[in-house]
Structure 1
Amino acid sequence: MYRPRAWIITIGNELLIGRTVNTNAATIARELTLRGVLVKRIVVVGDSIDEIATAVREALGSADIVVTTGGLGPTDDDMTMEAVAAAIDEPLVLNPEALEMVKKFYGEKGLPLTRERIKMAYLPRGAEPLPNPVGAAPGAYIIYSGSHIIMLPGVPAEMEAMLQEALKKLKPFLPRLCVVEEGITIRGVPESTLAPLLRRAAKSCSDCYVKSHPKGHEVREPVVEVKVLASAPNCETAKSRVRNMLGKLEALLNATHSPGKRGL
């Protein structure tokens, strides 16, 4: 079964200088993964039209879905819409529907439309505005040369409020897959000791992704969280694959380590 590929492009100098933690990328990657999408790359670029446009062009060359966050606001360094327009060779135009969204947001607060506020209603020609229930700047959605481009704000509260609605645009194009993730915590066994057991267990499921995450000291107080993610046409099969994998791992642990010396 073909699984669409995605790039996530997060935009902002504040990310590059370490002032802001990039939580948006993690949230979007998680939501896409649970819908059967293969996230192939997460890119961070600064507030530069050329850099944003270059990243979008590169993404369109290999991804079915491109999600950008950041750069939709009223200031001069908010330039994502202009950059995406340049990347897909479309003009930036005033979108009447987006303008109504901006007008309503500020009108309810008794504030006039200024040049900076109207700026947020300019979208690449052909793009559909996405309502922002939390903030002022609309997002946008457009299909270009078979790729779906979603443009979301960078403020996490706004991005999260819009993400689920934006993902509904993709639903008809997503695979009919159920993705399930479960895990166990293993105490008293170093990650290096678990590594060959994980390798053996993983061979039994080609549709599973197994990953260990050390939480304690490797030798003095080993604590390892093991996560298994599996996909299948239905959730019952996906859950069964995950639990079978975890069961195999526990059986291998019991065969090689005394249960009394570790905790699950």
Structure 2
Amino acid sequence: MTLTADELEEISKVVREALARKPDFLLTVGGLGPTYDDKTLQGVSEALGKPLKLHPEALRMVEEKVRWMAEQGVLRKPWVTPEREKMATLPEGSKPLSNPVGTAPGVLIRKDETVLICLPGVPSEMKAIFSLHVAGLMAERSNLKYAEGSLLVEGIPEPDLSPTIDEAVKRFPSAYIKSHPKGEEATSKIELHVSTFAEKLEEAEGKIGEVIGWLEAEAKRLGGNVKRLG
């Protein structure tokens, strides 16, 4: 792991040096936001020799999140400002990775045999994008097998469901469990996403079934309506 300052030259130098080692994956964390000191993508652009361009799909992701935040009363300016547009300006050839928690998309770029992935620095956003988009890719390149599953829980406010999630994390340490609120507290809808790795696919799927089953039973015990997704 290498820590860098918010300096363009240092970021691009570190990325070039890491790519020269030809890793399967190279992850950067932080520096994807709208402010002047968020320079990760500019540094990656210089390291790869690929220009920054406004990405239509990334812009759509930002627009949708801005619109949703405006509907929740979080934003006073419910439009895409130049600063927000910056979060959708990616190195040429990039693929944006949807961010279910925040605004800035993650970014995936392939350089020869290396998959370079840029994640936001906010821990909840980083973990959500990693679980949703990155974990499966890593599993494909390793000897480990990956499995995931989701539940939609309605009728239980997130603060009331949090102790159950905390207990699940303790009971099932090999599983990663993430909650994604889908509505306001009064009409609560929460998606619970569970993922894990194991040496055999059957083992990974069995663990997912065990965790999902436990969460489903506990949510119903609390009076929630539960639906398995996927």
Determine if the TM-score, normalized by the shorter chain, exceeds 0.5.
yes
Distance 2:67 2:201 in 1: 46
Amino acid in structure 1 at the alignment position of 2:41: M
- Tell me the equivalent position of 1:48: 7
- Tell me the equivalent position of 1:89: 49
Percent same amino acid at aligned positions?
44
CA offset digits 1:134-192 (Å, max 9, x no partner) = 111011001112111000000111101111123246246412247xxxxxxxxxxxxxx
The match for 1:98 among 39, 45, 58 is 58
Aligned to 1:45, the other structure's residue is in SS state: coil
Is 1:75 the counterpart of 2:30 in the alignment? Answer: no
Distance 1:169 1:149 in 2: 15
Distance 1:115 1:144 in 2: 29
The match for 1:166 among 105, 123, 133 is 133
The match for 2:124 among 141, 157, 162 is 157
Q: Does the 8 Å contact 1:139/1:151 carry over to 2?
A: yes
| CA distance 1:177–1:169, change in 2 (3 Å) | closer
Distance 1:161 1:136 in 2: 12
Distance 2:199 2:121 in 1: 33
Is 1:58 the counterpart of 2:17 in the alignment? Answer: yes
Distance 1:100 1:71 in 2: 20
The match for 2:95 among 123, 128, 138 is 128
RMSD, aligned CA = 2.5
If you compute each CA radius of gyration, which structure gives the higher value, 1 or 2? 1
In structure 2, stretches of 5+ residues that fail to align are 71-77, 146-197, 203-230
- Tell me the equivalent position of 2:223: none
Distance 2:35 2:44 in 1: 17
**TM-score (normalizing by structure 2):** 0.58
Distance 1:77 1:48 in 2: 8
Amino acid in structure 2 at the alignment position of 1:67: L
Q: Does the 8 Å contact 1:150/1:166 carry over to 2?
A: no
Amino acid in structure 2 at the alignment position of 1:103: E
- Tell me the equivalent position of 2:67: 107
Farther off after superposition, 166-175 or 62-71: 166-175
Aligned to 1:112, the other structure's residue is in SS state: coil
- Tell me the equivalent position of 1:118: 85
